């Protein structure tokens, strides 16, 4: 898998003696969680994992060298059953995903580390990551943090419709890969589908509201795309990924220095 993680920040490149020498109470380990799943006709199955790696790698380049912050190898397989029926989607159950990340948390704690970040770039994992963050804290005493996607980057120039409902193989994800891995993008295969319209609000929404309806991609998007990739450019992908990386770097440093109130 292509990587942008700096070698010096790649936990898996260390020997066990180098790991043993780390200041384990202070070291912050980042566990990426993503997916291998269909992303329409124009993006690769590894899109979520590649984007995670791209943004995290750029962020780690900006962190002061003296801070012991390392990227763990990613959990590439996620709960992707919303994309069931599309060739190439490799999904694990919620129970399997929870068990794998829980067991990795157990290994992290057994090695004496105290701080872990779950950095997720696949929407189907989001609710599970929230559960895991609390469970890892409760079971192992790990200081656990969660971080999602582009960390609130502004995406200047993206329409309200695309910003709200272009969440799978749309303009932003396509722009990221046009910048980071252009050989894997097939612009001649672009298609457009939306799960809802911001200019026609409905009482029930697909997600993120008080009343949501459950959906499968095949119900609404025959091509597998939810969004409109046609406006994507490599230039925007570079600009947006750089902006996201700045935010992610700032957040990781804040997590490294975090001291909770009341000693919790």
Domain map of the chain by residue range?
A: 7-263
Across the chain, which has 264 residues, the per-10-residue mean pLDDT values are 97 98 97 98 98 98 97 98 97 98 98 98 97 98 97 95 96 98 98 94 89 93 97 98 98 95 67
Q: How far is CA 255 from CA 27, 51, 143, 148, 249, in A?
A: 11, 21, 9, 14, 10
pLDDT of residue 261: 78
Cα–Cα distance, 144 to 28 (Å, whole number): 10
Cα–Cα distance, 85 to 100 (Å, whole number): 24
Place of tokens 């409905």: 202
pLDDT of residue 103: 98
H or E element: which one contains 30?
strand 28-33
Count of CB atoms situated within 10 Å of the CB of 164 = 18
Cα–Cα distance, 48 to 17 (Å, whole number): 32
Cα–Cα distance, 102 to 31 (Å, whole number): 12
pLDDT of residue 17: 98
**Burial (CB count within 10 angstroms: exposed 0-12, middle 13-18, buried 19+), residue 249:** buried
pLDDT of residue 263: 62
For domain 7-263, the CATH architecture is 3-Layer(aba) Sandwich (3.40)
**pTM (two decimals):** 0.96
pLDDT of residue 217: 96
Contacts of 106 (CB under 8 A, 6+ apart): 139, 140
If you write DSSP's letter for every residue of 70-130 in order, what string do you get? EEPPPB--B--GGGTTSTT-BB--HHHHHHHHHHHHHHHHHTT--EEEEEE--GGGHHHHH
pLDDT of residue 195: 92
């Amino acid at each position: 898998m292509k990587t942008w993680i700096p070698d010096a920040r790649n936990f898996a490149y260390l020997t066990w003696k180098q790991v043993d020498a780390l200041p384990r109470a202070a070291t912050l380990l980042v566990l990426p969680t993503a997916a291998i799943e269909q992303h329409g006709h124009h993006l690769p199955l590894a899109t979520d994992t590649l984007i995670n790696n791209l943004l995290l790698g750029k962020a780690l380049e900006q962190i002061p060298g003296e801070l012991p912050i390392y990227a763990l190898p990613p959990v590439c397989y996620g709960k992707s059953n919303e994309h069931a029926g599309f060739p190439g989607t490799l999904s694990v159950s919620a129970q399997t995903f929870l068990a794998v990340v829980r067991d990795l948390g157990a290994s992290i704690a057994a090695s004496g580390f105290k701080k872990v970040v779950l950095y997720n770039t696949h929407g189907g994992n989001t609710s599970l990551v929230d559960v895991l963050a609390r469970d890892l804290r409760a079971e192992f005493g790990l200081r656990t943090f969660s971080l999602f996607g582009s960390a609130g980057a502004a995406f200047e120039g993206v329409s309200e419709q695309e910003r709200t409902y272009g969440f799978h193989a749309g303009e932003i994800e396509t722009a990221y890969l046009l910048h980071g891995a252009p050989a894997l993008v097939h612009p001649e295969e672009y298609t457009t589908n939306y799960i809802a319209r911001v200019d026609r609000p409905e009482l029930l929404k697909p997600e993120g509201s008080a009343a949501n309806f459950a959906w499968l991609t095949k119900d609404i998007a025959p091509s597998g795309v939810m969004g409109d990739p046609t406006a994507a450019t490599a230039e925007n992908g570079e600009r947006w990924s750089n902006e996201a990386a700045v935010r992610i770097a700032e957040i990781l440093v804040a997590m490294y220095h975090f001291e909770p109130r009341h000693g919790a």
